[in-house]
Structure 1
Amino acid sequence: MGKVSYKRLKGSQSLRQRLLLATLKGTPVLIEDIRADDTIPGLRPHEVSLLRLLETVSDGCHVEINETGTKFRYMPGIVMGGKHLVHDCGVSRAIGYFLEPLIVLGLFAKKPLSIRLKGITNDSKDPCVDTFRSTTLPMLKQFGVPSEGLELKIESRGVPPNGGGEVLLSIPIVQSLTAVTWIDEGMIKRIRGVTFSARVSSQFENTMIHAARGIFNHLLPDVHIFTDHKAGPQAGNSPGYGISLVAETTSGCFVSADTAVSYARGDDVAEIDDEKKELLPPADVGEQIASVLLQEIEQGGVVDSAHQVCGVSSLYVFFV
């Protein structure tokens, strides 16, 4: 076996896109100076977990991380896909952080992918799993991805700080994607949504729905927001609640906004406090996320802010 030639990169910026494109092109990469000057240098737990996820779905993938985590070598393998795969995403970042690159990789696997992801399903940092189900997956159909075999099933909820959620992702394989010219944003024709609550009163969901509808009912009549209250093992390990909304246009565009309310992770707070801070009232949550969705609509465009991964196209040129 000959000597491997690695493409050398620096820093932690756009790490997911770099790994995604390296895997799709089969380009070995060496990334150095990862937060080398930070108080806590090196890769974060969710970034290490992402590398382990790539190993799970690939055959022949090899990762070498130095002791400080400030440098690693990544030798991509063949994305095999397969059934009954399992990956624990941890609680450093939500499952949505892993879904964004995983969905793209799954489309080009050798076999259809079916994987169970464990961790946090809803938080305020990453797009929630409801948004992937209601917005991201329908958007993929615009590019020729078949509906059959494309599914995201939420089996249990999990919010910070302790997670406990599980989802089952199924992705079919495609030979190629269809190029589209997508510039007609259309007019809003309906709004759909779902609220969730875990280890709190189900009345929180009704309050969020009433607050959101109080804003939308002035604009259009076709507004339906469903509830998803979880209890017992399906409620995860921490209390929380939230809402995900999507506006569908006459031209088939989907514009989404979501949020979740829960107690902070240990690394999200600047000081250690034994008393838990009071959570945002559900009425305020409903009003705020409705306003955020209206802001997304006002900005225009065929996709919302969460689905604009502009760095991918520029990085692709870097790998050519």
Structure 2
Amino acid sequence: MDQELKSMKQVDIIRTVTLPLMSKFGIGEGLELKVTRRGAKPNGGGEVIFKCPVRRKLLPLQFIKPGKIKRIRGVAYAMRVSPAMSNRIVDATRGVLNQFVPDIYIYTDHMKGAQSGKSPGFGLSLVAETTEGSFISAEMSSNQPGQEPSIPEDIGRQTAQLLLEEIYRGGCVDSRHQSLALLFMALGQSDVSKILTGPLSPYTIQFLRHLRDFFQLMFKIEAQKQLEDEQIGAEKVQLTCIGIGFSNLSKTIL
């Protein structure tokens, strides 16, 4: 899991999870990410179009109700390989997730020609949406040429298991987005912000130390106790802070 947390987020996760999280801080209108070409390691060749509005201040956040999983969506993509790779990933993924959630839809995205980048590859991004509007994600991609070949069925099953692990950890954001949410809370207006997460990842713990060193900001961290008959998943943590009131000086004041 630690290696998975260290990897870069794929563009589909940024589009379906990161951008909705940013919108909760008041950066929603005009925020857009479009994939025009997909690239894989090592030679890349992908292309995206990203649009982001300029905001003077970030809104405080009160996000302490994660809700229950209501549906799972995903994208199985393939570049410069057979289209059957995507279908094999989908079949293996559904073989795991169909036991838990009925509402599952995984899109297949097979890029051809110039849109397929410069290296062959395939992978899967999964997102679980809750009744309270939180998003939990997991992703995996194939190994680079020269490494041990990846099997599409293994990619599907392992990504599904990673998603179930994130769901078990719980909280309003997944492990990959804990640090981003805390950063925006710290930079927000001088008001109270709260968020409920699962167990803090090692990356997030170190990130909290950086926030303390750079902004002299300390979060109040409280373990949320659950009754034995109500316990769902791992222990939850509630983090509270008062934003430093950071203001974007490049935004013209009308």
Q: TM over 0.5: same fold? A: yes
Q: Which aligned pairs between 1:258-273 and structure 2 lie closer than 5 A?
A: 258-263=139-144
Q: Which residue of 2 aligns with 1:196?
A: 77
**Counterpart Cα distance in 1 of 2:100 and 2:89:** 18
How far did residue 210 of structure 1 move? 0.7
Could you tell me which of 30, 33, 40 is aligned with 1:159? 40
> Partner letter of residue 281 of structure 1?
I
Gaps of 5+ in 1: 1-123, 265-275
Could you tell me which of 174, 177, 194 is aligned with 1:304? 174
Does 1:125 pair with 2:10? no
How far did residue 246 of structure 1 move? 0.3
User: 2:20–2:28: 8 Å Cα contact kept in structure 1?
Assistant: no
Could you tell me which of 293, 305, 309 is aligned with 2:163? 293
**Counterpart Cα distance in 2 of 1:166 and 1:190:** 29
Highest RCO, 1 vs 2 (Cα 8 Å, sep ≥ 6): 2
**Counterpart Cα distance in 2 of 1:205 and 1:196:** 6
User: 1:130–1:244: 8 Å Cα contact kept in structure 2?
Assistant: yes
Size of the aligned set, in residue pairs, is: 185
User: 1:239–1:262: 8 Å Cα contact kept in structure 2?
Assistant: no
Identity, in percent, stands at 45
Name the SS of the counterpart of 1:144 in structure 2: helix
How far did residue 259 of structure 1 move? 1.1
How far did residue 313 of structure 1 move? 4.5
User: 2:19–2:28: 8 Å Cα contact kept in structure 1?
Assistant: no
> Partner letter of residue 166 of structure 1?
E
> Partner letter of residue 178 of structure 2?
Q
**Counterpart Cα distance in 2 of 1:295 and 1:262:** 22
Cα RMSD (Å) of the superposition?
1.5
User: 2:127–2:135: 8 Å Cα contact kept in structure 1?
Assistant: yes
User: 1:191–1:224: 8 Å Cα contact kept in structure 2?
Assistant: yes
User: 1:159–1:262: 8 Å Cα contact kept in structure 2?
Assistant: no
Q: Which residue of 2 aligns with 1:238?
A: 119
**Counterpart Cα distance in 1 of 2:48 and 2:157:** 28
Name the SS of the counterpart of 2:19 in structure 1: helix
